[in-house]
A = this chain, B = another copy of it.
Amino acid sequence: MLNLERQDEILAILSKNRSATVGELAKALYVSEATIRRDLIEMDHLSMIRRTHGGAVLSRNTALESAFAVREMTRLTQKRMICGLAIELIRDNSTLILDSSSTVMAIIPLLQRFHHLTVATYGIRTALMLSNLKNVDVYIVGGRVENFSNSVLGVPANDFLATVNADFALLSCSGINSHGEITDDSLETAQLKRVIVQRADKILLLCDSSKFDRTMMNTALRLENADYLITEKKPSVEYANLIQKNGCQLICGERI
């Protein structure tokens, strides 16, 4: 077995189990422990992994790289359910604005049922997925491409969206807190969302239940900005009241 091939294999094993001992790896790859150690030293040096006494664990760096892929996969059932509820509000021939979140991306396959839609987005993967739908005209904002969030951001992005007139905006967020603040983990996406709520007739906020009681770095919107809050699970009475008080209609998978 070749050197690099073995290192690939080590990475694969670590991805599965999160960590592994030198002994385990040596046994699995039919080489001596000395060889494994030499591999680990090299891989550690390249920040592919982190060595520990006795073995190695995945480096946080590697985890970060696939951050979006992971986000995309997690809570997929919840996301599908939320999108199933949201799609009922959309009408044929509408114009939509979509954010770049994985939650909102889950609605894309459902858009095929409409005769025609026009969609603007600042999500680069979102745009790519949308472009495969025959019945949708897709527009993407211009600007700087940010890998972590798969977003196109910056002044041109704001300017572009400021000229769009949409029927619906579908937004997600990183957290909702008990002050009715809808928060995001980036200044720029927060700013973009403030532009978007000015440009769409109805604002649909799609949030799975894990977002409640979380406050992130930047307050993007307030609950009163949203026309609908769509979630898969009945929120606490406190939040249900808060939502109602802000003139926002709560839609959820469970009976309220």
Which residues does A use to contact B, with CB under 8 Å? 2-5, 8, 18-19, 21, 50, 52-57, 60, 63, 65-66, 69, 124-125, 127-128, 130-132, 137-147, 150, 152, 156-157, 160
Contacts and interface: CB of A to CB of B under 8 A. Distances in A.
A117 B3 CA distance: 32
18 contacts: A2-B53, A2-B54, A2-B56, A4-B52, A4-B57, A5-B18, A8-B57, A124-B127, A127-B145, A130-B145, A131-B147, A137-B144, A140-B142, A140-B143, A141-B142, A142-B143, A142-B160, A156-B160
Given A125-B128, A127-B124, A152-B140, A4 B50 contact: yes
Contacts of A21: 2
Contact of A147 (B124, B132, B144): B132
Contact of A54 (B3, B130, B138, B157): B3
Contacts of A143: 139-140, 142
Contacts of A128: 124-125, 128, 145, 150
A136 B122 CA distance: 19
Contacts of A156: 142, 160
Given A2-B56, A4-B57, A140-B143, 6 more contacts: A8-B60, A124-B131, A128-B145, A139-B145, A142-B152, A142-B156
